[in-house]
Amino acid sequence: MAITFIFCIIIGRLLYVQIAWGSDLQELATDQWNREIPIVAARGIISDRNGTVLAGNRTTYSVFLRPNAVENAEYTATVLSGLFSLDPQQIIEKIEGGKVSEITVARQVGKESIEKLVSYDLAGVYYSRDNSRQYSYNDALCQVLGFTSNDGSGLSGIEKYYDNILSGINGEITYSTDIIGIETDNSVVVYKAAKNGDEIRLTVDMDIQLAAENAMRSVYASSGAKAVSCIVLNPQNFDILALVNYPSYDLNDVPRDDTETLNALSRNGLVSDIYEPGSTFKVVTAAANIEEYLQGNAKAFSNSYVFNGSRTRTVDGTKIKCWSDHANGKHSNQTLAAALNNSCNPCFTDIALSLGSETFYEYLNAFGFGNVTGLDFTGEALGMLVPQTAVRECDLARIGFGQTIAVTGVQLACAVAAAVNGGNYYVPHFLKSIISADGKTVSEYAPVLKNKVISEKASSILAEMLEGVVTEGSGTKAYIEGYRVGGKTGTAQKYEGGHVAQGKYVSSFCGFFPANNPEYLALIVVDEPQGTYYGSAVAAPVAKEIFEDIIRIKNIERYI
């Protein structure tokens, strides 16, 4: 009886091992008697809207060492240390340590070094092809493209956001070995091909991007600013055509050992940082007023209404005044168009207070403030908008002319674009299409309409007023003879520790053309310019320079 019981236990154990553990044990055995050489998938390229390669690959190699297969540890360590600038003693310790079956000796090694390695015919040393990322324009578009890790994974920017599309699927070469890892004479080699990553084609136009880069470098040098930035987009679909943050860094020489510098230079400030926009925000306030008047709201002001701008208002005990001292009748008795030309604060205070918080906040929300735009990029900031339930009259008054609200550059550019393109707020985007490794279009991005912020009629009226700002108002330094340019200047004081930072300003200009049917919009932001700091003098000329370059690049004819 006891013998029968023991026999049953043994049989049961054998059945359990064969059936329950069978597949696991087979995998362990296969792993012990087989070795794999990885075949790294080529990372998909990143190109601009015209197919110009922005991020590509150069062929490099990874070198591996299998300690059990090494015949002469000291000689092997000497050769590898000489070829790859390594510590020979550390290599010997790894070979003799017996803790791992395979060691990565070096990555992203050039062909010349591999040819030398092959000539030594070292037992236990292998290599495989991998890829090193190579960027065609060094620092251009660096905060947008981002960079990869040493093993080829996306760490920032488009490289990170679309990593799953760009990375592909690695393959491998498998062959059988003896128990210590040496390939057997009758080894069967199994090849599993890699699937290369797909191409990401961006909306960016590299010709426009380079023009914007040059303009940003120039104003950075001439203004002595802390930083400068620019975004150019197509108001008809919110394609981002160019985006620059300066200073920048070289994508082919990423300062990986200096984390603080890398974080500062690789940050896409137009997407991730917020600032008080100042008078460029008056475009939104004017848009809300015009639309409400067309809808018959008695609290809105007509286009012919004459504002009495020659005064300082006190709201909730807070004094609100214009940038001008209004001496000699300046800014007195002006229409909305004139108020935009003169950038007169009290007029926009009147609009915000008259419309009231409920109505004005409907427009602020529709224009995307206090929320992300939905841009296909990581780290987009929400901006800062006082909750409607907590907003005071003095807050509302200041929001009307661009204070007590903070925005990202992308938010503001999209808001102005929607205000002048017929009232259509689209989701901004970098992706134009995805192209497979064999050249076929996998998908094509279609514009996504997010909101209808104002009517086409209101938008047309506003665009005409903003054209007046450039022809005869504060934006005249953006004027281009023979072309219809519209826009709005902005000069905002900076705050530190809750108080005005003396002598620190953000100067900006948001312009577009042709004014009657905008195809290009540019937002210029100059952070802490030295000396002259008005947006009309610092930022508007930069927009003109970029627009003139676009006119030349695209061969756009004069309208008259």
The domain locations on the chain are 34-68+75-180+187-193, 206-434+451-554
Parallel, antiparallel or unpaired: strands 171-176 and 431-435: unpaired
Residue 399's alpha-carbon distances to 277, 355, 361, 391, in angstroms, are 10, 12, 10, 10
- What confidence tens digit (pLDDT) does each residue in 306-341 have? 987 656 777 877 777 776 665 555 656 799 999 999
Q: What is the mean pLDDT of residues 293-308?
A: 95
Which three-class secondary structure state does DSSP give residue 66?
coil
Token match 């940050």: residue?
Answer: 267
- For 205, residues 6+ apart whose C-beta sits below 8 A from its C-beta are 48, 49, 50, 241, 242
Residue 435's alpha-carbon distances to 46, 202, 222, 442, 458, in angstroms, are 10, 11, 41, 5, 40
Predicted local confidence at residue 202, as pLDDT: 98
Annotation: CATH topology of 34-68+75-180+187-193: Penicillin-binding protein 2a (Domain 2) (3.90.1310)
Phi, psi dihedrals of residue 529, rounded to the nearest 5°: -70, 150
CA distance 263 to 265: 6
CA distance 320 to 403: 11
8 A C-beta contact, residue 66 and residue 221: no
Question: Please, what is the average pLDDT of the chain?
Answer: 89
pLDDT value at 518 more than 50: yes
Predicted local confidence at residue 545, as pLDDT: 98
Say if domain 206-434+451-554 classifies as CATH 3.40.710.10: yes
Active site residues: 279
Low-confidence winner among 55-64, 405-414, 429-438 (lowest mean pLDDT): 55-64
Q: Which residue has the higher pLDDT, 120 or 240?
A: 240
Whole-model pTM: value is 0.86
Helix (H) or strand (E) holding 176: strand 171-176
